[in-house]
Copies of this chain bind each other. A is one copy, B any other.
Amino acid sequence: TTKKVLMLPGDGIGPEVMRQVQRVMDWMAKKRSVNFEITEGLIGGASIDAHKNPLTDETLADAMAADAVLLGAVGGPKWDDMPFDIKPERGLLKIRKEMGLFANLRPALVFDALVGASTLKEDVVKGLDIMILRELTGGIYFGQPRGIEERDGVRHGFNTLVYSEPEVERIARVAFDMAMKRNKRLCSVDKANVLESTVLWREVVERVAKDFPEVELSHMYVDNAAMQLVRNPKQFDVMVTTNMFGDILSDCAAMLTGSLGMLPSASLGAADANGARKALYEPVHGSAPDIAGQDIANPLATILSFAMMLRYSFDMGDDATLIEDAVQNVLKGGLRTADIMQPGMAKVSTTVMGESLISE
């Protein structure tokens, strides 16, 4: 069967890292006889430039029709001064919301060969392997009412943090499922001592826990979670949290690894009657406009995002592992793009990194 993939290279280094994924896909088509039907589309700044709109109805329709979407990165200084409503970020938030991608999987993984890249001491981060589940279509990102308005002559800016029981339940279920596939430990992060919205969050997570008696569940306040990630990140296996807390904590966790250019992510929707989920995969790093077009960006995070696609959208776990092993081996072989360069290693371009991965 054909696998329909929509590629959205986006802005900055997006297109050039995407080209390396394309080569990996070509290789897989040939060597593993997988049939990818690839369409390309615009998102973010690239779409603003072409259509004055960071996400057109057409691209959205293509995304809805695809089996999986692979995104490069969006944004850049060129569009920084645009009004709030038509910035590149709007495209990203809209595609997440419209596709119903409520479960954002953000692994924080330290590759053995790159442990030295972390600002943390080696023993604190060696072997680190955390999976953060961030709720992605609710919470304060999308809550109504929101805006800026005058009240009694004074301007107020306001947003609403809101979660319903079903919203919490579905992300909690994904988190428990994930914990079952890993080390059966789940930490739910909230601020239940201050925010009623997360009192409800904690209550629902507790209830879902009854269906997963094997999983050891703990709760942690978000301020403490930020501390514990720095103090002893290896205490965590799977973490689950709200959209806003997940935005902050997953970036903090990503930086603990010291190699942002290596980290993939997946955003998944609900399973339909056939067990299929809408899904979008993207590297954690941004569009890095300062190095765009120079063939020096690290393509591995996007390639690893593609590996996540194979695992989560196409049930091709073996092929995903093949790619992940190839990444480990290329690193062991001493090849490095500039962002992860270390003394004594060989600095290579985006293209050479892609080629070497395919040889591997």
Q: Annotate A170-211 by CB proximity to B: 1 below 8 A, 0 otherwise.
A: 000000000000000000000101111111110000000000
A247–B248 Cα distance when bound, in Å, is 12
Contact in complex: B231, A196 (CB < 8 Å): no
Q: In whole Å, how far is A150's beta carbon from the nearest beta carbon of chain B?
A: 10
Cβ contact within 8 Å between A165 and B159:
no
Find chain B residues with CB under 8 A from A248 CB: 222-223, 226, 245, 248
- Give the residues from 115 to 158 in chain A that come closer than 8 angstroms, CB to CB, to chain B: 119-121, 124, 140-141, 143, 146-148, 151, 154-158
Most chain B beta-carbon neighbours within 10 Å: one of A147, A157, A164: A157
Question: Is the C-beta of A86 less than 8 angstroms from some C-beta in chain B?
Answer: no
A: contact size bracket: 35 or more
Q: Which of B87, B163, B230 contacts A255 (CB 8 A)?
A: B230
Q: Are A89 and B193 in contact (CB under 8 A)?
A: yes
A196 contacts B252, C-beta separation under 8 Å: no
The distance from the CB of A266 to the nearest CB of chain B, in whole angstroms, is 18
A200 to chain B: which residues have CB within 8 Å?
148, 155-157
Given the known interface contacts A119-B121, A161-B161, A222-B247, the answer about A166 and B154 at a Cβ–Cβ threshold of 8 Å is yes
Minimal beta-carbon separation of A107 from chain B (angstroms): 16
Q: Does A35 have its Cβ within 8 Å of any Cβ on chain B?
A: no
- Check: A240 CB closer than 8 A to any chain B CB: no
Please measure, in the bound complex, the distance between the C-alpha atom of A260 and the C-alpha atom of B226, giving whole angstroms.
13
In the complex, chain B residues whose CB is within 8 Å of the CB of A84: 193, 196, 199
- Are B158 and A160 touching (Cβ within 8 A)? yes
* Shortest Cβ gap from A146 to chain B (Å): 5
With a CB–CB cut-off of 8 A, which chain B residues contact A229? 252
The answer to the question of A224 belonging to the interface, with a C-beta cut-off of 8 Å to chain B, is yes
**Which residue in chain B gives the minimum CB-CB distance to A195?**
B159
* Neighbouring B residues of A143 by C-beta, 8 Å: 158
Q: Does A249 count as interface, using CB distance less than 8 angstroms?
A: yes
Q: Which residues of B contact A244 (CB under 8 A)?
A: 191
Question: Residue A39 at the B interface, CB < 8 A?
Answer: no
**CB-contact partner of A154 in B165, B231, B232, under 8 A:** B165
Q: Are A157 and B198 neighbours in the complex by a CB distance under 8 Å? A: yes
Contact across chains for B154 and A164 when beta carbons are under 8 A apart: yes
Interface residues of A (CB under 8 A from B): 84, 87, 89, 93, 119-121, 124, 140-141, 143, 146-148, 151, 154-166, 191, 193-201, 222-224, 226-232, 244-245, 247-252, 254-256, 260
